[in-house]
Structure 1
Amino acid sequence: MKFSLIQDGAIRQVTPEMFLMCFRYTMTARIAPTCNTIGYNYLINNRNFLSTSGPQDGMKYQVSLNDSSTVLELKPIKIILIHSDENYQPGDCVRVFPSLNKAIVEEYCETLPQSGSFKCYQDLRRHWKNIHGYRIPEAECSYYRVRFWCGEPFTYPKLCLTQNFPIITPMPKSAEEPVLSRFIATLKTKMPYFLGIPLLIKSDSENRNISANDVSNDTYTQAVSLCTPTQRSTQQKR
Protein backbone atom coordinates (compact mmCIF):
# COMPACT_ATOMS: atom_id res chain seq x y z
CA MET A 1 0.00 0.00 0.00
CA LYS A 2 2.85 2.39 0.84
CA PHE A 3 4.26 2.06 -2.69
CA SER A 4 0.84 1.90 -4.41
CA LEU A 5 1.38 -1.70 -5.51
CA ILE A 6 -1.48 -3.41 -7.33
CA GLN A 7 -2.15 -7.15 -7.30
CA ASP A 8 -1.70 -8.63 -10.79
CA GLY A 9 -3.54 -11.91 -11.25
CA ALA A 10 -4.71 -14.47 -8.72
CA ILE A 11 -2.79 -15.25 -5.54
CA ARG A 12 -0.88 -18.46 -6.11
CA GLN A 13 -0.63 -21.28 -3.60
CA VAL A 14 2.57 -21.07 -1.57
CA THR A 15 4.98 -23.91 -2.31
CA PRO A 16 7.65 -25.04 0.19
CA GLU A 17 10.32 -23.61 -2.11
CA MET A 18 8.58 -20.23 -2.26
CA PHE A 19 8.08 -20.18 1.50
CA LEU A 20 11.77 -20.88 2.15
CA MET A 21 12.81 -18.20 -0.34
CA CYS A 22 10.58 -15.62 1.37
CA PHE A 23 11.72 -16.64 4.83
CA ARG A 24 15.40 -16.43 3.84
CA TYR A 25 14.90 -12.99 2.28
CA THR A 26 12.96 -11.67 5.28
CA MET A 27 15.51 -12.97 7.78
CA THR A 28 18.57 -11.58 5.99
CA ALA A 29 16.86 -8.23 5.40
CA ARG A 30 15.83 -7.87 9.04
CA ILE A 31 19.15 -8.78 10.67
CA ALA A 32 21.24 -6.50 8.42
CA PRO A 33 23.51 -4.63 9.08
CA THR A 34 24.31 -6.52 12.30
CA CYS A 35 24.73 -9.66 10.18
CA ASN A 36 25.35 -9.25 6.46
CA THR A 37 24.83 -11.87 3.79
CA ILE A 38 27.76 -13.16 1.73
CA GLY A 39 27.14 -15.72 -0.99
CA TYR A 40 24.17 -18.01 -0.62
CA ASN A 41 24.50 -19.42 2.90
CA TYR A 42 26.99 -17.28 4.85
CA LEU A 43 26.50 -14.32 7.18
CA ILE A 44 29.22 -12.07 8.55
CA ASN A 45 28.71 -10.46 11.95
CA ASN A 46 30.16 -6.98 11.48
CA ARG A 47 28.50 -3.77 10.30
CA ASN A 48 31.81 -2.52 8.86
CA PHE A 49 32.96 -5.84 7.46
CA LEU A 50 33.89 -4.48 4.01
CA SER A 51 36.65 -2.28 5.45
CA THR A 52 37.80 -4.71 8.16
CA SER A 53 40.87 -6.90 7.67
CA GLY A 54 41.63 -10.23 9.28
CA PRO A 55 39.27 -12.95 10.60
CA GLN A 56 35.70 -11.93 11.40
CA ASP A 57 32.92 -13.82 13.16
CA GLY A 58 30.38 -15.34 10.83
CA MET A 59 27.74 -18.01 10.45
CA LYS A 60 27.09 -20.73 7.91
CA TYR A 61 23.37 -21.43 7.74
CA GLN A 62 20.86 -23.65 6.01
CA VAL A 63 17.08 -23.30 6.06
CA SER A 64 14.77 -26.28 5.56
CA LEU A 65 11.27 -27.46 6.45
CA ASN A 66 9.92 -30.45 8.31
CA ASP A 67 6.36 -31.41 9.29
CA SER A 68 6.10 -28.93 12.14
CA SER A 69 8.86 -26.35 11.89
CA THR A 70 11.24 -24.31 9.81
CA VAL A 71 14.69 -25.62 10.72
CA LEU A 72 17.63 -23.23 10.72
CA GLU A 73 20.97 -25.05 10.95
CA LEU A 74 23.74 -22.79 12.23
CA LYS A 75 27.51 -23.27 12.34
CA PRO A 76 29.70 -20.44 13.74
CA ILE A 77 32.77 -19.80 11.57
CA LYS A 78 35.54 -17.30 10.88
CA ILE A 79 35.49 -15.39 7.59
CA ILE A 80 38.43 -13.59 5.98
CA LEU A 81 37.69 -11.30 3.04
CA ILE A 82 40.48 -10.98 0.48
CA HIS A 83 40.81 -7.48 -0.95
CA SER A 84 43.52 -6.44 -3.40
CA ASP A 85 45.41 -3.14 -3.23
CA GLU A 86 46.06 -3.42 -6.95
CA ASN A 87 43.63 -2.06 -9.49
CA TYR A 88 41.74 -4.53 -11.64
CA GLN A 89 42.27 -4.38 -15.36
CA PRO A 90 39.65 -4.54 -18.15
CA GLY A 91 38.96 -8.21 -18.86
CA ASP A 92 39.77 -9.35 -15.31
CA CYS A 93 37.32 -11.81 -13.77
CA VAL A 94 35.98 -10.68 -10.38
CA ARG A 95 33.29 -11.70 -7.91
CA VAL A 96 30.75 -9.21 -6.64
CA PHE A 97 29.23 -8.88 -3.18
CA PRO A 98 26.84 -9.96 -1.86
CA SER A 99 26.17 -12.82 -4.29
CA LEU A 100 29.82 -13.63 -5.14
CA ASN A 101 28.70 -14.11 -8.74
CA LYS A 102 31.33 -13.75 -11.48
CA ALA A 103 31.61 -10.64 -13.61
CA ILE A 104 34.11 -9.17 -16.08
CA VAL A 105 35.73 -5.77 -15.49
CA GLU A 106 35.03 -3.35 -18.32
CA GLU A 107 36.27 -0.03 -17.00
CA TYR A 108 38.09 1.54 -14.04
CA CYS A 109 36.73 4.88 -12.78
CA GLU A 110 38.33 7.26 -10.27
CA THR A 111 35.00 9.00 -9.75
CA LEU A 112 31.38 7.91 -10.01
CA PRO A 113 30.41 7.62 -13.72
CA GLN A 114 27.87 10.28 -14.67
CA SER A 115 26.29 7.97 -17.22
CA GLY A 116 24.89 5.68 -14.52
CA SER A 117 21.69 5.94 -12.47
CA PHE A 118 23.45 7.40 -9.39
CA LYS A 119 24.00 11.16 -9.21
CA CYS A 120 26.40 11.04 -6.27
CA TYR A 121 28.14 8.67 -3.86
CA GLN A 122 25.38 9.09 -1.28
CA ASP A 123 22.86 7.80 -3.83
CA LEU A 124 25.04 4.72 -4.29
CA ARG A 125 25.37 4.21 -0.53
CA ARG A 126 21.58 4.50 -0.15
CA HIS A 127 21.09 1.93 -2.92
CA TRP A 128 23.36 -0.61 -1.21
CA LYS A 129 21.62 -0.04 2.13
CA ASN A 130 18.12 -0.44 0.69
CA ILE A 131 18.81 -3.33 -1.71
CA HIS A 132 21.50 -5.38 0.06
CA GLY A 133 21.53 -4.13 3.66
CA TYR A 134 25.21 -3.20 3.28
CA ARG A 135 26.53 -0.03 4.95
CA ILE A 136 29.44 0.87 2.72
CA PRO A 137 31.99 3.36 4.15
CA GLU A 138 31.32 7.11 4.12
CA ALA A 139 34.67 7.76 2.46
CA GLU A 140 34.32 7.48 -1.31
CA CYS A 141 36.57 5.03 -3.14
CA SER A 142 37.20 4.16 -6.79
CA TYR A 143 34.70 2.34 -8.99
CA TYR A 144 34.51 -0.34 -11.64
CA ARG A 145 32.05 -0.95 -14.42
CA VAL A 146 31.50 -4.71 -14.65
CA ARG A 147 29.39 -6.87 -16.91
CA PHE A 148 27.70 -10.15 -16.11
CA TRP A 149 26.95 -12.81 -18.72
CA CYS A 150 24.17 -10.68 -20.20
CA GLY A 151 22.70 -7.21 -19.91
CA GLU A 152 24.18 -3.75 -19.39
CA PRO A 153 27.29 -3.11 -17.23
CA PHE A 154 26.86 -2.16 -13.57
CA THR A 155 28.86 0.24 -11.40
CA TYR A 156 30.44 -1.23 -8.24
CA PRO A 157 32.61 0.39 -5.56
CA LYS A 158 35.99 -1.34 -5.42
CA LEU A 159 35.31 -2.58 -1.87
CA CYS A 160 32.40 -4.62 -3.20
CA LEU A 161 34.59 -6.62 -5.59
CA THR A 162 37.03 -9.45 -5.00
CA GLN A 163 38.87 -11.97 -7.14
CA ASN A 164 38.68 -14.74 -4.56
CA PHE A 165 36.11 -16.44 -2.42
CA PRO A 166 36.34 -15.48 1.27
CA ILE A 167 38.44 -17.84 3.38
CA ILE A 168 36.11 -19.83 5.65
CA THR A 169 37.63 -21.54 8.72
CA PRO A 170 36.01 -23.41 11.64
CA MET A 171 36.00 -22.07 15.18
CA PRO A 172 37.30 -23.82 18.28
CA LYS A 173 34.49 -25.35 20.28
CA SER A 174 34.99 -22.88 23.14
CA ALA A 175 34.45 -19.89 20.85
CA GLU A 176 31.28 -21.12 19.12
CA GLU A 177 28.69 -20.65 21.86
CA PRO A 178 29.08 -16.84 22.27
CA VAL A 179 28.82 -16.31 18.51
CA LEU A 180 25.76 -18.56 18.29
CA SER A 181 24.09 -16.84 21.26
CA ARG A 182 24.66 -13.39 19.75
CA PHE A 183 23.11 -14.50 16.47
CA ILE A 184 20.03 -15.96 18.18
CA ALA A 185 19.65 -12.76 20.23
CA THR A 186 19.89 -10.67 17.04
CA LEU A 187 17.29 -12.86 15.32
CA LYS A 188 14.89 -12.53 18.26
CA THR A 189 15.35 -8.75 18.39
CA LYS A 190 15.26 -7.99 14.66
CA MET A 191 12.66 -10.55 13.61
CA PRO A 192 10.25 -11.12 16.51
CA TYR A 193 7.38 -11.62 14.06
CA PHE A 194 7.01 -13.38 10.72
CA LEU A 195 3.85 -12.78 8.66
CA GLY A 196 2.40 -10.90 11.62
CA ILE A 197 2.69 -13.79 14.10
CA PRO A 198 5.32 -14.11 16.88
CA LEU A 199 8.29 -16.24 15.87
CA LEU A 200 8.88 -19.06 18.35
CA ILE A 201 12.47 -20.33 18.58
CA LYS A 202 13.30 -23.73 20.02
CA SER A 203 16.88 -24.99 20.21
CA ASP A 204 17.36 -28.66 19.29
CA SER A 205 20.15 -31.03 20.33
CA GLU A 206 23.55 -30.47 18.73
CA ASN A 207 24.97 -32.66 16.02
CA ARG A 208 28.67 -33.02 16.71
CA ASN A 209 31.15 -33.32 13.83
CA ILE A 210 34.71 -33.87 15.04
CA SER A 211 37.84 -33.74 12.91
CA ALA A 212 39.84 -36.86 13.73
CA ASN A 213 43.08 -35.16 12.71
CA ASP A 214 42.91 -31.99 14.79
CA VAL A 215 40.81 -31.63 17.93
CA SER A 216 41.21 -27.84 17.83
CA ASN A 217 39.08 -27.83 14.67
CA ASP A 218 36.02 -29.35 16.36
CA THR A 219 32.84 -27.83 14.93
CA TYR A 220 29.19 -28.09 15.83
CA THR A 221 25.95 -27.58 13.97
CA GLN A 222 23.15 -26.09 16.07
CA ALA A 223 19.69 -26.84 14.69
CA VAL A 224 17.12 -24.23 15.66
CA SER A 225 13.43 -24.88 15.03
CA LEU A 226 11.35 -21.87 14.08
CA CYS A 227 7.60 -22.31 14.39
CA THR A 228 6.20 -20.22 11.55
CA PRO A 229 2.60 -19.02 10.95
CA THR A 230 1.69 -21.53 8.22
CA GLN A 231 2.94 -24.47 10.23
CA ARG A 232 1.34 -23.30 13.49
CA SER A 233 -2.01 -23.02 11.68
CA THR A 234 -1.60 -26.58 10.37
CA GLN A 235 -0.82 -27.86 13.88
CA GLN A 236 -3.90 -26.17 15.29
CA LYS A 237 -6.13 -27.75 12.62
CA ARG A 238 -4.78 -31.18 13.54
Structure 2
Amino acid sequence: MNDTRHQSLFFVSLPDLQKLCATTITLSSQLPESETRSTQIKTCRQLLFLYQDILSAPVIGTLNQISAVMAIPFYKSGICQAYIERQGATLEEPQRVSPTILQSCLSYTLTARLAPMWNKAGHLLVQGKDFLSRTGKQNAVVLDLNVSETQLCISVEACSIRLPPPELEDFDISANAIKLFASNENTVIHRHSILTNWCYVLPSMKMGQIINISHVIPPESPFRSYEEFQMHWKNLYGYILPEDLEERKIYLSVYFKPIGERFFTYPLSCIRSQPVQYFARMDSESVLNSFISDLKCKFSHLCGFPVKMTSKALYATQELSRAPT
Protein backbone atom coordinates (compact mmCIF):
# COMPACT_ATOMS: atom_id res chain seq x y z
CA MET A 1 0.00 0.00 0.00
CA ASN A 2 1.09 3.58 -0.52
CA ASP A 3 3.17 5.14 2.21
CA THR A 4 0.90 8.18 2.11
CA ARG A 5 -2.29 7.19 3.89
CA HIS A 6 -5.40 9.34 3.74
CA GLN A 7 -7.50 8.42 6.73
CA SER A 8 -10.81 10.19 7.15
CA LEU A 9 -12.04 10.40 10.73
CA PHE A 10 -15.67 10.49 11.85
CA PHE A 11 -16.90 10.74 15.43
CA VAL A 12 -19.96 9.40 17.22
CA SER A 13 -21.08 10.29 20.75
CA LEU A 14 -21.85 7.07 22.60
CA PRO A 15 -24.72 6.43 24.99
CA ASP A 16 -23.84 6.12 28.67
CA LEU A 17 -22.05 2.76 28.92
CA GLN A 18 -23.65 2.23 32.34
CA LYS A 19 -26.95 1.75 30.51
CA LEU A 20 -25.44 -1.22 28.67
CA CYS A 21 -24.27 -4.64 29.80
CA ALA A 22 -21.95 -7.26 28.37
CA THR A 23 -22.26 -11.01 28.60
CA THR A 24 -20.41 -14.08 27.35
CA ILE A 25 -22.17 -16.92 25.55
CA THR A 26 -20.62 -20.38 25.66
CA LEU A 27 -21.66 -22.95 23.07
CA SER A 28 -22.68 -26.48 23.96
CA SER A 29 -19.79 -28.81 24.78
CA GLN A 30 -21.66 -31.52 22.85
CA LEU A 31 -20.83 -29.93 19.49
CA PRO A 32 -18.46 -31.94 17.27
CA GLU A 33 -15.04 -30.29 17.21
CA SER A 34 -15.21 -29.86 13.43
CA GLU A 35 -18.40 -27.78 13.74
CA THR A 36 -17.48 -25.57 16.70
CA ARG A 37 -15.92 -22.67 14.78
CA SER A 38 -18.66 -22.41 12.16
CA THR A 39 -21.35 -22.70 14.87
CA GLN A 40 -19.65 -19.90 16.81
CA ILE A 41 -19.77 -17.59 13.78
CA LYS A 42 -23.30 -18.60 12.74
CA THR A 43 -24.69 -18.09 16.26
CA CYS A 44 -22.90 -14.76 16.55
CA ARG A 45 -24.29 -13.54 13.22
CA GLN A 46 -27.79 -14.85 13.93
CA LEU A 47 -27.84 -12.85 17.15
CA LEU A 48 -26.91 -9.56 15.53
CA PHE A 49 -29.26 -10.04 12.56
CA LEU A 50 -32.23 -11.31 14.57
CA TYR A 51 -31.93 -8.59 17.19
CA GLN A 52 -30.87 -5.14 15.98
CA ASP A 53 -30.35 -4.07 19.61
CA ILE A 54 -27.53 -6.60 20.13
CA LEU A 55 -23.86 -6.22 19.24
CA SER A 56 -21.82 -9.41 19.17
CA ALA A 57 -18.42 -10.85 18.28
CA PRO A 58 -16.59 -14.16 18.65
CA VAL A 59 -14.30 -14.06 21.68
CA ILE A 60 -10.76 -13.84 20.29
CA GLY A 61 -8.70 -16.94 20.98
CA THR A 62 -11.74 -19.19 21.48
CA LEU A 63 -13.83 -21.37 19.20
CA ASN A 64 -16.86 -21.67 21.46
CA GLN A 65 -17.50 -18.27 23.06
CA ILE A 66 -19.28 -15.11 21.93
CA SER A 67 -19.31 -11.65 23.50
CA ALA A 68 -22.58 -9.73 23.36
CA VAL A 69 -23.46 -6.16 24.33
CA MET A 70 -27.01 -4.91 24.82
CA ALA A 71 -29.06 -2.40 26.79
CA ILE A 72 -29.81 -3.52 30.34
CA PRO A 73 -33.61 -3.47 29.76
CA PHE A 74 -33.15 -5.73 26.72
CA TYR A 75 -31.14 -8.18 28.81
CA LYS A 76 -33.82 -8.14 31.49
CA SER A 77 -36.50 -8.89 28.88
CA GLY A 78 -35.17 -12.46 28.64
CA ILE A 79 -35.31 -12.47 24.82
CA CYS A 80 -31.59 -13.13 24.46
CA GLN A 81 -31.59 -15.81 27.16
CA ALA A 82 -34.47 -17.66 25.47
CA TYR A 83 -32.66 -17.63 22.12
CA ILE A 84 -29.40 -18.86 23.67
CA GLU A 85 -31.18 -21.69 25.48
CA ARG A 86 -32.75 -22.82 22.20
CA GLN A 87 -29.23 -23.10 20.78
CA GLY A 88 -28.15 -25.31 23.69
CA ALA A 89 -25.68 -22.63 24.80
CA THR A 90 -25.24 -20.88 28.16
CA LEU A 91 -25.20 -17.20 29.10
CA GLU A 92 -22.98 -15.76 31.83
CA GLU A 93 -24.10 -13.11 34.30
CA PRO A 94 -24.03 -9.58 32.82
CA GLN A 95 -20.97 -7.42 33.35
CA ARG A 96 -20.09 -3.77 32.95
CA VAL A 97 -19.31 -2.80 29.35
CA SER A 98 -15.71 -1.76 28.83
CA PRO A 99 -14.61 0.25 25.78
CA THR A 100 -12.54 -2.77 24.68
CA ILE A 101 -15.53 -5.14 24.61
CA LEU A 102 -17.74 -2.54 22.95
CA GLN A 103 -15.09 -1.90 20.29
CA SER A 104 -14.74 -5.62 19.53
CA CYS A 105 -18.50 -6.22 19.29
CA LEU A 106 -19.19 -3.04 17.34
CA SER A 107 -16.42 -3.74 14.82
CA TYR A 108 -17.62 -7.29 14.16
CA THR A 109 -21.29 -6.29 14.03
CA LEU A 110 -20.80 -3.42 11.60
CA THR A 111 -18.62 -5.56 9.32
CA ALA A 112 -21.28 -8.29 9.31
CA ARG A 113 -24.15 -5.90 8.64
CA LEU A 114 -22.33 -4.09 5.82
CA ALA A 115 -22.01 -7.29 3.76
CA PRO A 116 -22.67 -7.92 0.91
CA MET A 117 -22.45 -4.20 0.07
CA TRP A 118 -18.92 -4.22 1.55
CA ASN A 119 -17.21 -7.58 1.95
CA LYS A 120 -14.36 -8.54 4.24
CA ALA A 121 -11.18 -9.58 2.42
CA GLY A 122 -8.18 -9.60 4.72
CA HIS A 123 -8.14 -6.22 6.46
CA LEU A 124 -10.21 -4.63 3.67
CA LEU A 125 -13.90 -4.20 2.99
CA VAL A 126 -14.40 -4.57 -0.77
CA GLN A 127 -17.41 -2.94 -2.41
CA GLY A 128 -20.10 -4.87 -4.26
CA LYS A 129 -21.89 -8.17 -3.83
CA ASP A 130 -20.29 -9.37 -7.09
CA PHE A 131 -16.74 -8.56 -5.96
CA LEU A 132 -15.72 -12.24 -6.18
CA SER A 133 -16.17 -12.22 -9.97
CA ARG A 134 -14.58 -8.89 -10.83
CA THR A 135 -11.28 -8.93 -12.69
CA GLY A 136 -10.57 -5.19 -12.86
CA LYS A 137 -9.98 -2.51 -10.27
CA GLN A 138 -12.35 -2.40 -7.32
CA ASN A 139 -13.21 0.02 -4.56
CA ALA A 140 -12.31 -0.91 -1.01
CA VAL A 141 -11.86 0.69 2.39
CA VAL A 142 -9.87 0.03 5.51
CA LEU A 143 -12.16 0.52 8.51
CA ASP A 144 -10.80 1.03 12.01
CA LEU A 145 -12.80 1.79 15.14
CA ASN A 146 -11.54 3.27 18.38
CA VAL A 147 -13.87 3.39 21.37
CA SER A 148 -13.48 5.44 24.54
CA GLU A 149 -15.94 5.78 27.43
CA THR A 150 -17.90 8.50 25.66
CA GLN A 151 -16.90 8.54 22.01
CA LEU A 152 -16.38 6.36 18.96
CA CYS A 153 -13.79 7.35 16.37
CA ILE A 154 -14.30 5.79 12.94
CA SER A 155 -11.28 5.84 10.63
CA VAL A 156 -11.89 5.13 6.94
CA GLU A 157 -9.24 4.87 4.25
CA ALA A 158 -10.36 4.51 0.63
CA CYS A 159 -8.36 2.16 -1.62
CA SER A 160 -8.28 1.08 -5.24
CA ILE A 161 -7.42 -2.61 -5.54
CA ARG A 162 -7.42 -5.66 -7.77
CA LEU A 163 -8.39 -9.02 -6.33
CA PRO A 164 -9.20 -11.05 -9.46
CA PRO A 165 -10.52 -14.61 -9.38
CA PRO A 166 -7.80 -17.12 -10.25
CA GLU A 167 -7.26 -19.07 -13.43
CA LEU A 168 -5.88 -22.59 -13.21
CA GLU A 169 -2.85 -21.38 -15.18
CA ASP A 170 -1.94 -19.16 -12.21
CA PHE A 171 -0.88 -22.28 -10.30
CA ASP A 172 1.63 -23.40 -12.95
CA ILE A 173 -0.44 -26.35 -14.11
CA SER A 174 0.53 -27.62 -17.55
CA ALA A 175 -1.67 -26.77 -20.53
CA ASN A 176 -2.23 -30.48 -21.19
CA ALA A 177 -3.41 -31.12 -17.64
CA ILE A 178 -5.80 -28.15 -17.82
CA LYS A 179 -7.13 -29.31 -21.20
CA LEU A 180 -7.76 -32.82 -19.86
CA PHE A 181 -9.40 -31.40 -16.73
CA ALA A 182 -11.71 -29.21 -18.82
CA SER A 183 -12.77 -32.09 -21.06
CA ASN A 184 -13.51 -34.70 -18.38
CA GLU A 185 -15.48 -33.96 -15.22
CA ASN A 186 -13.97 -36.98 -13.48
CA THR A 187 -10.40 -35.77 -13.91
CA VAL A 188 -8.57 -34.64 -10.76
CA ILE A 189 -5.48 -32.43 -10.86
CA HIS A 190 -3.22 -33.82 -8.15
CA ARG A 191 -0.61 -32.04 -6.08
CA HIS A 192 2.38 -33.12 -8.17
CA SER A 193 0.85 -31.36 -11.20
CA ILE A 194 0.34 -28.08 -9.30
CA LEU A 195 3.81 -26.53 -9.39
CA THR A 196 2.75 -23.36 -7.56
CA ASN A 197 0.34 -24.70 -4.98
CA TRP A 198 0.21 -21.84 -2.48
CA CYS A 199 -3.02 -19.85 -2.50
CA TYR A 200 -4.83 -17.15 -0.52
CA VAL A 201 -8.15 -18.12 1.04
CA LEU A 202 -10.98 -15.64 1.55
CA PRO A 203 -12.14 -13.96 3.69
CA SER A 204 -8.99 -13.94 5.84
CA MET A 205 -6.56 -14.14 2.89
CA LYS A 206 -4.48 -16.58 4.92
CA MET A 207 -2.25 -18.86 2.89
CA GLY A 208 -2.81 -22.55 2.31
CA GLN A 209 -1.51 -25.24 -0.01
CA ILE A 210 -3.63 -26.77 -2.75
CA ILE A 211 -3.68 -30.57 -2.50
CA ASN A 212 -5.90 -31.27 -5.50
CA ILE A 213 -8.43 -29.68 -7.86
CA SER A 214 -11.64 -31.40 -8.90
CA HIS A 215 -15.03 -30.89 -10.52
CA VAL A 216 -16.58 -33.01 -7.78
CA ILE A 217 -16.94 -32.14 -4.10
CA PRO A 218 -14.63 -34.49 -2.12
CA PRO A 219 -16.46 -37.04 0.06
CA GLU A 220 -14.79 -35.72 3.24
CA SER A 221 -16.39 -32.29 2.72
CA PRO A 222 -19.44 -31.53 4.90
CA PHE A 223 -21.13 -30.02 1.82
CA ARG A 224 -22.89 -32.04 -0.86
CA SER A 225 -23.71 -29.38 -3.44
CA TYR A 226 -22.61 -25.99 -4.69
CA GLU A 227 -25.86 -24.57 -3.29
CA GLU A 228 -24.79 -25.71 0.18
CA PHE A 229 -21.50 -23.87 -0.30
CA GLN A 230 -23.44 -20.75 -1.31
CA MET A 231 -25.58 -20.97 1.82
CA HIS A 232 -22.55 -21.59 4.03
CA TRP A 233 -20.61 -18.59 2.74
CA LYS A 234 -23.66 -16.35 2.98
CA ASN A 235 -24.40 -17.46 6.55
CA LEU A 236 -20.82 -17.13 7.77
CA TYR A 237 -19.49 -14.13 5.85
CA GLY A 238 -22.35 -12.52 3.94
CA TYR A 239 -20.67 -13.46 0.64
CA ILE A 240 -22.79 -13.94 -2.47
CA LEU A 241 -21.03 -16.71 -4.37
CA PRO A 242 -21.40 -16.46 -8.15
CA GLU A 243 -24.00 -18.59 -9.88
CA ASP A 244 -21.62 -21.08 -11.47
CA LEU A 245 -22.61 -22.95 -14.58
CA GLU A 246 -22.70 -26.70 -14.02
CA GLU A 247 -19.72 -27.37 -16.28
CA ARG A 248 -17.57 -24.72 -14.58
CA LYS A 249 -17.78 -25.93 -10.99
CA ILE A 250 -14.26 -26.33 -9.63
CA TYR A 251 -13.33 -27.27 -6.07
CA LEU A 252 -9.96 -27.11 -4.35
CA SER A 253 -8.81 -29.16 -1.38
CA VAL A 254 -6.56 -26.91 0.72
CA TYR A 255 -4.17 -27.79 3.53
CA PHE A 256 -3.24 -25.39 6.33
CA LYS A 257 -0.08 -26.42 8.14
CA PRO A 258 -1.06 -25.09 11.62
CA ILE A 259 -4.31 -27.07 11.53
CA GLY A 260 -2.80 -30.43 10.61
CA GLU A 261 -3.76 -33.19 8.21
CA ARG A 262 -7.36 -32.11 7.71
CA PHE A 263 -8.17 -30.71 4.25
CA PHE A 264 -10.71 -27.96 3.60
CA THR A 265 -12.75 -27.69 0.41
CA TYR A 266 -13.29 -24.35 -1.33
CA PRO A 267 -15.02 -23.33 -4.55
CA LEU A 268 -12.52 -21.71 -6.91
CA SER A 269 -14.22 -18.32 -6.48
CA CYS A 270 -13.22 -18.24 -2.79
CA ILE A 271 -9.51 -18.67 -3.56
CA ARG A 272 -6.99 -16.15 -4.85
CA SER A 273 -3.67 -16.89 -6.52
CA GLN A 274 -2.06 -13.61 -5.45
CA PRO A 275 -2.35 -11.05 -2.67
CA VAL A 276 -4.29 -7.81 -3.00
CA GLN A 277 -2.85 -5.39 -5.57
CA TYR A 278 -3.06 -1.70 -4.64
CA PHE A 279 -3.30 1.28 -7.00
CA ALA A 280 -3.17 5.04 -6.58
CA ARG A 281 -6.61 6.27 -5.53
CA MET A 282 -7.88 9.10 -7.73
CA ASP A 283 -11.49 9.46 -6.53
CA SER A 284 -11.26 8.81 -2.79
CA GLU A 285 -14.09 11.22 -2.05
CA SER A 286 -16.73 9.29 -4.00
CA VAL A 287 -15.71 5.96 -2.47
CA LEU A 288 -15.66 7.50 0.99
CA ASN A 289 -19.10 9.07 0.51
CA SER A 290 -20.53 5.78 -0.74
CA PHE A 291 -19.16 3.87 2.23
CA ILE A 292 -20.25 6.43 4.82
CA SER A 293 -23.73 6.53 3.31
CA ASP A 294 -24.00 2.73 3.64
CA LEU A 295 -22.51 2.83 7.13
CA LYS A 296 -25.02 5.41 8.34
CA CYS A 297 -27.87 3.23 7.06
CA LYS A 298 -26.58 0.32 9.13
CA PHE A 299 -25.57 2.37 12.16
CA SER A 300 -28.38 4.71 13.16
CA HIS A 301 -28.75 3.11 16.60
CA LEU A 302 -26.46 1.44 19.11
CA CYS A 303 -28.23 -1.09 21.33
CA GLY A 304 -31.48 0.81 20.80
CA PHE A 305 -30.01 4.25 21.52
CA PRO A 306 -29.96 6.69 18.57
CA VAL A 307 -26.49 7.76 17.48
CA LYS A 308 -25.36 10.49 15.13
CA MET A 309 -22.13 10.54 13.19
CA THR A 310 -20.30 13.75 12.35
CA SER A 311 -21.23 14.72 8.80
CA LYS A 312 -17.83 15.97 7.67
CA ALA A 313 -14.60 14.04 7.85
CA LEU A 314 -11.58 15.20 9.77
CA TYR A 315 -8.20 14.11 8.51
CA ALA A 316 -5.36 12.54 10.44
CA THR A 317 -2.04 14.29 9.94
CA GLN A 318 1.43 13.47 11.12
CA GLU A 319 2.75 15.84 13.74
CA LEU A 320 5.47 18.11 12.48
CA SER A 321 8.55 18.45 14.64
CA ARG A 322 9.94 21.92 15.21
CA ALA A 323 13.26 22.33 13.46
CA PRO A 324 16.18 22.69 15.88
CA THR A 325 17.39 26.27 16.26
Q: Is the 8 A contact 1:58 1:76 kept in 2?
A: yes
Q: Does 1:146 align with 2:254?
A: yes
AA partner of residue 112 (structure 2): A
Which of residues 228, 243, 246 in structure 2 aligns to 1:123? 228
CA distance in 2, matches of 1:185, 1:8: 35
Which of residues 274, 282, 301 in structure 2 aligns to 1:164? 274
Pairs within 5 Å for 1:185-200: 185-200=293-308
Counterpart for residue 111 of structure 1: 216
CA distance in 1, matches of 2:314, 2:304: 28
Q: Which runs of 4+ in 1 moved over 6 A?
A: none
Q: What is the CA deviation profile of residues 174-232 of structure 1, one whole-angstrom value per residue up to 9, with x for unaligned ones?
A: x12221111111112123223222232114422368xxxxxxxxxxxxxxxxxxxxxxx
Total equivalences in the alignment: 206
For structure 1, which segment, 148-157 or 61-70, has the greater mean C-alpha deviation from structure 2 after superposition? 61-70
Q: Is the 8 A contact 2:200 2:206 kept in 1?
A: yes
AA partner of residue 100 (structure 2): E
For structure 1, which segment, 64-73 or 101-110, has the greater mean C-alpha deviation from structure 2 after superposition? 64-73
Pairs within 5 Å for 1:44-63: 44-63=126-145
Which of residues 1, 4, 7 in structure 1 aligns to 2:90? 7
CA distance in 2, matches of 1:181, 1:29: 20
Q: Does 1:97 align with 2:180?
A: no
For structure 1, which segment, 152-161 or 189-198, has the greater mean C-alpha deviation from structure 2 after superposition? 189-198
Which of residues 125, 138, 147 in structure 2 aligns to 1:65? 147
Q: Structure 1 residues 196 and 147 mapped into 2: Cα distance closer, same or farther (>3 Å)?
A: farther
Q: Is the 8 A contact 1:60 1:75 kept in 2?
A: yes
**SS of residue paired to 1:201:** coil
AA partner of residue 59 (structure 1): V
AA partner of residue 133 (structure 1): G
Q: Is the 8 A contact 1:31 1:191 kept in 2?
A: no
Q: What is the CA deviation profile of residues 51-104 of structure 1, one whole-angstrom value per residue up to 9, with x for unaligned ones?
A: 111101111222212453121111111110143322546371211001011112
TM-score by structure 2 length?
Answer: 0.58
Counterpart for residue 206 of structure 1: 315
Which of residues 215, 240, 243 in structure 2 aligns to 1:135? 240
Q: Is the 8 A contact 1:82 1:165 kept in 2?
A: no
CA distance in 2, matches of 1:105, 1:15: 42
Residue 161 of structure 1: how far off its partner (Å): 1.0
**SS of residue paired to 1:118:** coil
Q: Is the 8 A contact 2:132 2:164 kept in 1?
A: no
TM-score by structure 1 length?
Answer: 0.78
For structure 1, which segment, 18-27 or 79-88, has the greater mean C-alpha deviation from structure 2 after superposition? 79-88
Pairs within 5 Å for 1:25-36: 25-36=108-119
Residue 8 of structure 1: how far off its partner (Å): 4.1
AA partner of residue 125 (structure 1): Q
The Cα RMSD (Å) is: 2.2
AA partner of residue 299 (structure 2): M
